[in-house]
Amino acid sequence: MPVQQLFHKFVADRRLDEVIEPLKKSSDIFDIIRPTENQHSKLLAWLFNPREGHGQGDAILKDFLNAAFIASEEHVLANKQFFDAWPPSRIARAGFHSICLLPEFCLDSGKRLDLLMVDFDNKILVVVENKHGARYSAEQLEGYYSEVATTLRQRPVFNKFRTVHIAVDRNYRRRQDENAPASPLNRWAYVDYRWLERGARRAELQLKRGNQLASLVTAYCHAQTDYEPPELRMANDVLAELARDYSALVDAFASARKSMLGDLTPTDLTNDVWVYAHHHRAMVDRLIDMEGLAFLEPGLRRSLPNVPVRTDYGKQYVDLHPLGWQMLEQQEGARPLVAKVWNAECAADGSDQFGLALYYRPDECAPAHSAKLRTELERVFPELKKGRQDAYYRTLGHVKSVSEEHIAAKLRHLLEAGNRAVLAAIG
C-alpha cells in the first residue's frame, strides 16, 4: 500500500484515541524540562538530604548505598574497605541525618566532583560522579580517584573515614552490552538509576497521605527509570500494535523527523507526514522507538505456541511475562522473574543491536516457591551461585549485542530456560 494511502488509514484508526491523550504532557515538571548534568547532581543532592521536605528522610540515600553495594562485588581498595565495614545490614540500621552534601565540590586541581557527601558522625566520604548519557573514561575516573586520595583521604581530619566512589550512568544497563570495565573502573561502583524505583513507590504512598512535595520526588524518580504509569503502559501496547500494522509509515515518520526545516521542499509537505510527525512528536517518537521491538511478539507466539506471553512495552524496551510465571508472584504486580529486551547501541556498521536478560527479584517471589525457584534457577543459570547472594535483583542469562536476525532465537532460548526452572519450582 502506498505511504500516502497508509497515512490516511492511520489517522482514521480508532486506536489513536487510546494513545494521544495519555502521551500529552502532564503536570510532571520533568515531562517538560530536561535537566543538565549539573542540575541532575543538585537534584540528587536534594533527594539525598534527609533534612529536606521531600518526606523520605535518609531512605533514598540508603537505597543508593545499597545499589552501590550490589555493584561492588569485584571492587578493590577504598570501595572494598567501605563495604566490608558498611554492608546493607549496617546501612539499614544507621542514621545519616548529619550528612553534609557538597555539589560541584572543587578539588585542589580545579576539577569538580559532581557531588561529595561527608558524614562526620558515621565517618564516611561518598564521592559521586554523574554522567547523564555521556560516557566515562578510565583516565577521568582514575584522575578523580587519585586526587580524592591525595586531596581528601590523607588529611588528618579524615584519618578514620571510609570512602566509597560511585559512578552514576543513566544508560548503564545499555553499557553492559560492552566489555566489562577494566581498572580503574573496578574502584568505582557503577550504577544506573533503577535504585530510584523504591523512592518513587514511597513517594506515591506519601502523596496519598497529602505530602504534595512528594510529587517532585515521584516525577524525578519516574523520569530517570523505566517506570511507566498504568495508563501509559496500556498506551504503549497499543502503540506496539500500530508500529507493527503501519511499519512502512513509521519508516516515513522516522525520515520526516530527521528532515530539518531548512531542508524541506514543497514536495515534502504535500502528504502532511512531516507536519503530522511534528504535531504529535511524543507519539511518533515512541512509534519509531518501538518499531525495532514490535516485531518480536508475533515471531515469539509462532515459535512458542504453548507458552503464552504477556508483553509490556516501554520506550526502547519490552518486558515479557509468560503467564505460567504468575504463580510465583507474592502479590499482584510483583515480578519475581521477567524477561527484558532492550535496544542496545548500534553496531559499528550502524545496524540495530539488542540486549536481553532475565531479571530475578527474590524478594517478590511467593514464599511457597522461593527456595525451590532459586535452586532451579541456579541449575539453569549457574552464574546465580556467584556474586551477591543478598542482592535484591540479579541479571541472568544476559546476552550482549544481538542483531535483529538472531534476537528471536536468543529470546526463545532464554524464555525456555526460565520456563524450565519455573515449572520445576511450582511442580
Q: Check pLDDT > 90 for residue 65.
A: yes
- Please work out, in degrees rounded to the nearest 5, the angle formed at the alpha carbon of residue 338 by the alpha carbons of 337 and 339: 135
Confidence of residue 27 (pLDDT cuts 50, 70, 90): very low
Calpha distance 309→126 (Å, rounded): 43
Q: What is the pLDDT of residue 397?
A: 92
Confidence of residue 349 (pLDDT cuts 50, 70, 90): low
What's the burial of 157, exposed, middle or buried (CB within 10 Å: 0-12/13-18/19+)?
exposed
What tens digit of pLDDT does each residue of 374-410 get?
A: 999 999 999 998 877 767 778 899 988 888 788 888 9
Could you tell me where the DSSP H helices lie in 225-305?
A: 230-245, 247-258, 273-279, 281-294, 296-303
Q: Check pLDDT > 70 for residue 5.
A: yes
% the chain with pLDDT above 90: 23
Find how far residue 56's CA is from the centre of its chain.
21
% the chain with pLDDT above 70: 79
Q: What is the pLDDT of residue 175?
A: 44
Radius of gyration of the chain (CA): 23
Kindly tell me the number of DSSP H helices and DSSP E strands found in the chain: 17, 10
The better pLDDT of the pair 121, 29 is held by 121
Question: Bridge-partner residues for 310, per DSSP?
Answer: 321
Nearest to 105 by CA among 117, 120, 96, 123: 117
The arithmetic mean of pLDDT across residues 194-213, rounded, is 71
Residues 288, 253 contacting (CB under 8 angstroms): yes
Residues 171, 133 contacting (CB under 8 angstroms): yes
Q: Check pLDDT > 90 for residue 164.
A: yes
Q: Read off the C-alpha cell for 251.
A: 519508516
Q: Read off the C-alpha cell for 25.
A: 504532557
Q: What is the pLDDT of residue 179?
A: 44
Q: What is the pLDDT of residue 316?
A: 73
Q: What is the pLDDT of residue 376?
A: 94
Q: What is the pLDDT of residue 46?
A: 86
Q: Check pLDDT > 80 for residue 36.
A: no
Find how far residue 311's CA is from the centre of its chain.
17
Residues 148, 184 contacting (CB under 8 angstroms): no
Mean pLDDT value across the chain: 80
What are the CA-CA distances from residue 240 to residues 88, 137, 289, 374 (Å)?
A: 40, 36, 10, 33
Q: What is the pLDDT of residue 380?
A: 93
The arithmetic mean of pLDDT across residues 294-304, rounded, is 72
